[in-house]
Amino acid sequence: MTGPDSGVPAPVDSPTPPEGVIRTHPGRRAEPARELPETFLGRSEHLLEALPDPTYVVDVDLSTRPAGYRVVWVSSSLAQMTGYSVAELRDSAPELVTAHGRVRTALREALAAGLPVSVVRSVPRKDGTSYRATVSFSPLGPGAGGWGRWLVTVRDATEELASAVLAEERAAAEERAQRGLSLVARVSDILADVDSATALVEISALLERRIVPWAAFYADGTQLQKVTDLAGISYHRRDLRRQARVREVPDPVVGLFLDTRMQTVVVDPREPVDEGTLTGELLALVAQDDSAPDDGPLWLLPVLGRKAVLAVLAVRPPDLEADESALPAGELTTVLELVARRVGMAMDNLQLYDREHRLAETLQRAMLPEQSHVEGVDVWSYYAPSSEHAQVGGDWYDVLDMGEGRVGVVVGDVVGHDVEAAAAMGQLRSVVRAYAAEFVEPGKVLGRVDRLVAGMRIARPASFVYATLHPRPGGETWDVAYSRAGHLPIVHVSGGRATQLEGANGPLVGFGGRPRHTGHAVVRPGDVLVFYTDGLVERRDRSMRDGVAALVSAAEHIDAPDAAGIGEELLQQLADAPEDDIAVVVLRVPDPASDPTHTWSGPRERRWQMPMDPKTIARARHAVLRACEAWDIADTAAAELVASELVANAVMHGWGRVDLRLRDTGDGLRIEVEDANPSPPVVREGRVGRVGGFGLHIISRLAEWGWRPTPAGKVVWARVRAKEAWAQRPAEE
């Protein structure tokens, strides 16, 4: 007699083994039973009928193959469960529980060893249906004719197995939820590093490792492009609303950018798409991505900011039917939406901070004066805000061309790093300029400023130094007159020795209450005056006194022949890690008798901050000539013309201020011009009668050039080689 089911052995402690699985109970091995009298069942039937599960008693003969089975007794509850009569079950009961294959072998071995054993299988009913049952064999001892007698219990396992399936489903759901939560938590950890330029790359890689085959972020600027930085695209974006109004063809990606709801748009690359649409641009970018799968639909989710869609998250979903480990579609969409929302908020916060940062910097730079070009003296100025604050502070400088060879220099510091400090700085700058034009003596200027500031009730205390420089009769020496309102002393460098002009000091601005004094010093050709704020010299690990001493020592050993070179080396030695705003003005009296063959030992780099003014173009040419003279570069015509064109483009098409940087590369000169307009330079076609449009063509003939974006705008650079190096350049350049 054989049954229809088969399976594999299961562990003893398995609560719900699958159908056909054998389960033995070695810990319950029966002791040898004594010989039972034939009247045993008759006296015990009422006890067996009282058992909670349907049962029957069977004698088993294992000496034959197949084994012999003989039913001795059947409970009425088994008859009710199966629909068979007791008489029918006496003939068919063995077939209800026997098995074939490996299960039959395992069952035979367990019965031969006298061990209790269980098998899970389907038990048929008379009406053709069946139910899952756990059939257990328990030894009762020897039966008639030497056969083994066993008590067989047929326990309905439908509810137990259903509970096990439900438990497995719950465990799987919990595991999927845990996967999703851990992924979202990891995304939050990545986004915590807002300075990371590769945050979106890391998030895409995380999604690909955990839940999807491929993912990437795209944003729209002047064109749609893949983005890896949380800052997104800094320059201007296209007017997608106008594009949506003009086009009659539906564009899913444009709709995704314009609709500020979280949604999932499915795009099939196999369907025809208009190449002029944003959807066509996206599909073309995905097709160019070597890491993207070749076929299958794309899921697109908006990366939402507070008021706009900042980017699009594109993913290739897994094959949900083939991949058993994949999240169901609903759960996958939920996880992707959570990721897109977190990325959107992080991008929005970063862009909001960046806008505030730029606004603060623009305000600060707008309130700073533009250095005037002064004939007869070499002046270099520099300002850098503290990186720890919102780039708003109270440091300022001013260089005044007062006519008749007289130069005025102001450097000051208002306490604080906020808009109030910047406003106080702007007021003081205007007041000082007004009185400097009226009074010659610096002490009188500071005295008038004291009285006016006391009436204006400026809430922030401030320090500053004001000095005038003019040639003495005969022109061989210059006179320096100065007065200080609690400010650091001017450093005077003459003949390789640096001293501090410590006289004429008084209380902070607004706290004078008594006449201010004026100090005097004599300056000779070649001498240098250094004006500065405390950001140049003070550090957490260095006192103000030690910082000023370091400045004096550095100034004594600088042998640069121009003010820009002196300032550059001071910054490199003292301002490598500034903790406060820095304002520096270096003034050098030219020395016509200086040795033109003098070799400078300092860094061969220069930088200038210039206004957006046509006069800046001439200043830039003058700066290049002075730097080339200091570096003993004879062939300056090409460098002068290239710098002039770069600065002219910045003045005409940029905004903010112009930053000019020069560096001697050994085989030529590298020129960099930065402005706040992030739009890239465009090579225009030159035509007869057209004004402009030839600048980049000229630069291309004289130098190698390029550009790169910056957090504040863009840098356009050019490398002008020496004639010998240009002739020997590699062909691929």
C-alpha distances out from residue 199 to 194, 237, 492, 634, Å: 8, 22, 49, 47
Q: Distance between CA atoms of 595 and 236, rounded to whole angstroms? A: 52
Domain co-membership, 147 together with 196: no
Rounded-to-10 torsion of CA 616, 621, 624, 629: -130
Residue 728 pLDDT > 70? no
Residue 117 pLDDT > 90? no
Q: Distance between CA atoms of 693 and 237, rounded to whole angstroms? A: 25
Scan for tokens 């960099």, then name that residue: 672
Q: Distance between CA atoms of 722 and 312, rounded to whole angstroms? A: 48
* Higher pLDDT among residues 330 and 33, named by residue: 330
Indicate the range of 138-147, 210-219, 398-407, 594-603 predicted with least confidence: 594-603
Averaged over 186-215, what is the pLDDT? 87
Domain membership of residue 535 (yes or no) is: yes
Domain co-membership, 452 together with 583: yes
Q: Is 656 left (phi over 0), alpha (psi -120 to 50) or beta?
A: left
Domain co-membership, 595 together with 631: no
SS3 letters across 267-282? ECCCCCCCCCCHHHHH
Whole-model pTM: value is 0.54
The residue from 156, 174, 190 where one domain ends is 156
**Confidence grade of residue 595 (pLDDT, cut at 50, 70, 90):** low
Question: Domains in the chain: how many in total?
Answer: 4
3-state secondary structure of 379: strand
DSSP secondary structure letter of residue 166: H
pLDDT of residue 28: 47
**For residue 419, which of 463, 360, 356, 367 has the smallest C-alpha distance?**
360
The residue from 536, 567, 599 where one domain ends is 599
Domain co-membership, 331 together with 391: no
Domain co-membership, 404 together with 344: no
Domain co-membership, 276 together with 349: yes
Report which listed range, 27-36, 100-109, 173-182, 511-520, is most confident: 511-520
**For residue 45, which of 55, 53, 37 has the smallest C-alpha distance?**
55
Q: Is the dihedral of CA 233, 239, 245, 246 positive or negative?
A: negative
Domain membership of residue 211 (yes or no) is: yes
Residue 682 pLDDT > 80? no
Domain membership of residue 5 (yes or no) is: no
Averaged over 216-222, what is the pLDDT? 88
Domain co-membership, 445 together with 565: yes
Domain membership of residue 16 (yes or no) is: no
Host domain of residue 235: 166-355
* Higher pLDDT among residues 624 and 684, named by residue: 624
Q: Distance between CA atoms of 75 and 482, rounded to whole angstroms? A: 120
DSSP secondary structure letter of residue 9: -
What percentage of the chain reaches a pLDDT higher than 90? 18
The residue from 156, 179, 197 where one domain ends is 156
Domain co-membership, 134 together with 195: no
Averaged over 2-18, what is the pLDDT? 37
* Higher pLDDT among residues 246 and 192, named by residue: 192
**For residue 311, which of 278, 268, 334, 335 has the smallest C-alpha distance?**
278
pLDDT of residue 528: 94
Scan for tokens 């899913």, then name that residue: 252
Contact 483, 437 (CB under 8 A): no
Distance of CA 6 to the CA centre of its chain: 57
* pLDDT tens readout for residues 247-271: 666 788 888 888 888 999 999 888 8
Q: Distance between CA atoms of 190 and 187, rounded to whole angstroms? A: 5
Residue 182 pLDDT > 80? yes
Q: Which residues contact 112 (CB under 8 A, 6 or more apart)?
A: 62
- List the structure tokens of 502: 């410590």
**For residue 131, which of 101, 164, 155, 103 has the smallest C-alpha distance?**
155
- List the structure tokens of 314: 């594109």
Domain membership of residue 4 (yes or no) is: no
Domain membership of residue 17 (yes or no) is: no
Domain co-membership, 489 together with 580: yes
Q: What is the mean pLDDT of the chain?
A: 79
Instruction: Give the burial string for 518-550 (b: 16+ CB within 10 Å, else e).
Output: bbebebeebbbbbbbbbbbbbbeeeeeeebbeb
Q: Which helix (H) or strand (E) holds 119?
A: strand 117-124
What percentage of the chain reaches a pLDDT higher than 70? 79
Q: Which helix (H) or strand (E) holds 356?
A: helix 329-367
CATH of the domain at 503: 3.60.40.10
SS3 breakdown of the chain: % helix, strand, coil, rounded to 5? 35, 25, 40
Averaged over 507-521, what is the pLDDT? 85
pLDDT of residue 465: 94
- List the structure tokens of 229: 């930085």
**Confidence grade of residue 598 (pLDDT, cut at 50, 70, 90):** low
- List the structure tokens of 309: 């869609």
C-alpha distances out from residue 645 to 55, 101, 564, 627, 691, Å: 103, 91, 21, 18, 14
**For residue 589, which of 480, 473, 455 has the smallest C-alpha distance?**
480
Domain membership of residue 9 (yes or no) is: no
CATH of the domain at 84: 3.30.450.20
Averaged over 268-290, what is the pLDDT? 85
Peptide bond into 269 cis (omega under 30): no
Q: Distance between CA atoms of 411 and 466, rounded to whole angstroms? A: 7
**Confidence grade of residue 344 (pLDDT, cut at 50, 70, 90):** very high
Domain co-membership, 192 together with 333: yes
Residue 365 pLDDT > 70? no
Domain co-membership, 313 together with 243: yes
CB atoms within 10 A of CB 253: 25
pLDDT of residue 6: 31
Contact 676, 654 (CB under 8 A): yes
Q: Distance between CA atoms of 633 and 18, rounded to whole angstroms? A: 89
Q: How far apart are the first and last CA of the chain?
A: 90
The pairing of beta strand 605-610 with beta strand 658-664 = antiparallel
Contact 300, 216 (CB under 8 A): no
Contact 282, 224 (CB under 8 A): yes
SS3 letters across 634-650? CCCHHHHHHHHHHHHHH
Domain co-membership, 429 together with 561: yes
* Higher pLDDT among residues 481 and 191, named by residue: 481
Q: Which helix (H) or strand (E) holds 462?
A: strand 462-471
Contact 581, 386 (CB under 8 A): yes
Q: Is the dihedral of CA 556, 557, 563, 569 positive or negative?
A: negative
Crossing angle of helices 615-630 and 563-574, in 10° steps, is 80
Question: 300 exposed, middle or buried (CB, 10 Å; 0-12, 13-18, 19+)?
Answer: buried
Averaged over 284-292, what is the pLDDT? 88
Domain membership of residue 445 (yes or no) is: yes
pLDDT of residue 103: 52
CATH of the domain at 613: 3.30.565.10
**Confidence grade of residue 386 (pLDDT, cut at 50, 70, 90):** low
**For residue 426, which of 465, 398, 466 has the smallest C-alpha distance?**
398
CATH of the domain at 331: 3.30.450.40
**Confidence grade of residue 430 (pLDDT, cut at 50, 70, 90):** confident
